[in-house]
Structure 1
Amino acid sequence: MKLSVIVPCFNAADTITAQLEALGKQQCLEPWEIIIADNGSTDETVNIVKQYQQIFTNLRLVDASAVKGSAHARNTGASVALSENLAFCDADDEVTSGWVAAMIEALSKHDFVAGCSDYSKLNEPWVVKSCGVREANGVKDYVYFPYAAGNNLGIKRSIHNLVGGFDEKMLLLQDIDYCWRVQKTGIKLESVSNAIIYFRFRNTVKGMYRRCWRLACYDILLHQKHQQMGMPKLIRWRHLSKDAAILPLKFLLKVRNKETFVRWLLDLAWLGGHVQGCLKYNYLTI
């Protein structure tokens, strides 16, 4: 078995069909498998997957409902994988036809890899213009360690096990935490430009705002956790105060249409989430 593709899901009935169809169109002659790790769906997700099991002989469905969150679902899928090579994608995105082959090739050369995203297929143009600059597309540089999104990662199973998998206590940003912990072992995160997925953003302003706020709140928890592992203090109150002072000026100078307004609104959400996270997790660095 050359690759185990792990797809965590929860109430993904509206999108998982498209992802399964995309996985079924892979241009790959090597043996590989799909593991759908269901995190306790209450909609038609499980029934849809069971229908596709009658078509795809390499498709497995596992119960990953014991602990809430995609981290547990990913870990559960990895625990039953038949391959030493693991690849993670999400139920609300769509892999391109060469994704599996690209992941197999990449993991034959490297231990830890990340693919890239295409925003054009699944999102309206205004959504891409509003949100595209905020997402980690491929490997994103950072002053601590680079990172990538968990919807397009590949890794050796032995290394996944070495770091204890994804942190199941983190309901968000567990993918960044995972990337950082893997790299702390000395393993580099490599970019795979031809392992492309079609990424789906939230399609309402409210959904974008709420997601950005929650991510920012968890960002504080993420930094707090890694400061205990040697990460420098990168988020400080004086930085948040500066951002708060600049926001009204940015509104006056940059907001000209729907796209620029949504960008500004997401900046506001990121700031608000950071402030909430500082208070919630007692992160009071000056």
Structure 2
Amino acid sequence: MKLSVIIPCLNAADTISLQLEALAKQEWSEPWEVIIADNGSCDQTVAIAQNYQERLPKLQIVDASSKSGAAHARNVGASVAKGEALVFCDADDEVAPGWVAAMGEALSKYDLVGGRNEHWKLNEPWLVKIYGCQEGDGIFMNHPYLPLQSGCNLGVKRSLHEAIGGFDENIFILDDVDYSWRLQQVGIKPHEVKDALVHYRFRNSIIGICRRAWDMGRQEALLYKKHRSMGMPQLMSWKSFVRTAVMFPLRFLLLKVRNKVSLTQCLMDLAWRGGQLRGCIKYGYLPF
């Protein structure tokens, strides 16, 4: 088996059929498989996935419910994979035509790869504008520490996954960033595959967006604490918390908040900084 596509999922009944439909239409000359790693769904996720076993004859569905988190589900999926290379995507996105072939061919040449994400197909316009990613994105090469990769469109040689011990299951969000950084720390450079396109789905409500921003901020403190000892520069400052607290009311007073997009951006920034502060307290990370 050349390639294993691993999809962690939890209560993805509303979206997983779109992803599996897209995978069922993929074509590649080499052998490949799909592994659904279910993290304890209590909806119809597993039943829907089972309906695709005829169209995807090399589809496995494995129980990954013994521990919460995408990291655990990805590790369980990787543990039963037969592929020489592993590719990760998510149950709420949609891979574009040619994605499997592009990732598979890239992994025959490179050890660590990432595709590009497109945001217009699965999201309302106001959501895309909030994140300022109208042109799409891929591997973020300009991070002051190491390039950032997302687990929704990431591929790696199986031997390297095993060498670093897989995903850190103590990190519930940003485990994919930590994973990519640990691979880079042992000398593996990421390569962007422009033809491996994924249609990415954002949270579609203001509450959902803010909740995710809070969770990411909280986990950032844990991630930064872990990597500080590995040479990561100081990226979180107490000044940023003060600045956010001051600027939040000023945005309203100065009429900077004029529509749904600017309101959500303001609330998302506040939630993110609040999550960072909570994470600093919880994980003992000093932002100075």
**TM-score band, normalised by the shorter chain?**
over 0.9
Residue by residue over 1:245-285, the C-alpha shift from the partner in whole angstroms, topping out at 9 and shown as x without a partner, is: 33334442532221122112211111111111122222233
How far did residue 29 of structure 1 move? 2.5
- 1:224 is matched with 225
Say whether 1:174 aligns with 2:175.
Answer: yes
Counterpart AA for 1:213:
W
Secondary structure of 1:62's counterpart equals strand
Q: Partners of 2:120 and 2:135 in 1: how far apart?
A: 14
Q: Partners of 1:59 and 1:264 in 2: how far apart?
A: 43
Counterpart AA for 1:281:
Y
Aligned pairs (5 A) from 1:118-137: 118-133=118-133, 137=137
- 1:55 is matched with 55
Q: Partners of 1:121 and 1:38 in 2: how far apart?
A: 26
Secondary structure of 1:52's counterpart equals coil
Counterpart AA for 2:195:
N
Q: Partners of 1:136 and 1:160 in 2: how far apart?
A: 27
8 A Cα contact 1:86 1:157, kept in partner: yes
- 1:265 is matched with 267
Say whether 1:277 aligns with 2:264.
Answer: no
How far did residue 153 of structure 1 move? 0.2
Q: Partners of 1:151 and 1:182 in 2: how far apart?
A: 17
Aligned pairs (5 A) from 1:229-248: 229-248=230-249
User: Are residues 77 and 136 of structure 1, via their aligned partners in 2, closer, same or farther at CA, if it must alter by over 3 Å?
Assistant: farther
8 A Cα contact 2:119 2:133, kept in partner: no
- 1:6 is matched with 6
8 A Cα contact 2:148 2:181, kept in partner: yes
How far did residue 69 of structure 1 move? 0.8
How far did residue 186 of structure 1 move? 0.6
Counterpart AA for 2:225:
Q
Aligned pairs (5 A) from 1:33-112: 33-112=33-112
Q: Partners of 2:286 and 2:9 in 1: how far apart?
A: 35
Q: Partners of 2:59 and 2:250 in 1: how far apart?
A: 53
8 A Cα contact 1:119 1:132, kept in partner: no
- 2:159 is matched with 158
User: Are residues 194 and 250 of structure 1, via their aligned partners in 2, closer, same or farther at CA, if it must alter by over 3 Å?
Assistant: farther
User: Are residues 232 and 134 of structure 1, via their aligned partners in 2, closer, same or farther at CA, if it must alter by over 3 Å?
Assistant: farther
8 A Cα contact 2:119 2:136, kept in partner: no
Runs of 4+ in 1 over 6 A off after TM superposition: none
Residue by residue over 1:50-76, the C-alpha shift from the partner in whole angstroms, topping out at 9 and shown as x without a partner, is: 121133211111111121111011011
Counterpart AA for 1:159:
L
CA-atom RMSD in angstroms = 1.7
Secondary structure of 1:138's counterpart equals coil
Aligned residues: 286
Please identify, of 60-69 and 151-160, the stretch whose mean Cα deviation from structure 2 is larger. 60-69
8 A Cα contact 1:244 1:271, kept in partner: no
Q: Partners of 2:124 and 2:267 in 1: how far apart?
A: 18
Aligned-pair identity (%): 55
Q: Partners of 1:192 and 1:247 in 2: how far apart?
A: 39
5+ residue gaps, structure 1: none
Q: Partners of 1:206 and 1:246 in 2: how far apart?
A: 21
Query: TM-score under structure 1 normalisation?
Result: 0.95
User: Are residues 59 and 192 of structure 1, via their aligned partners in 2, closer, same or farther at CA, if it must alter by over 3 Å?
Assistant: same
Say whether 1:143 aligns with 2:162.
Answer: no
Q: Partners of 2:249 and 2:187 in 1: how far apart?
A: 43
Q: Partners of 1:212 and 1:275 in 2: how far apart?
A: 12
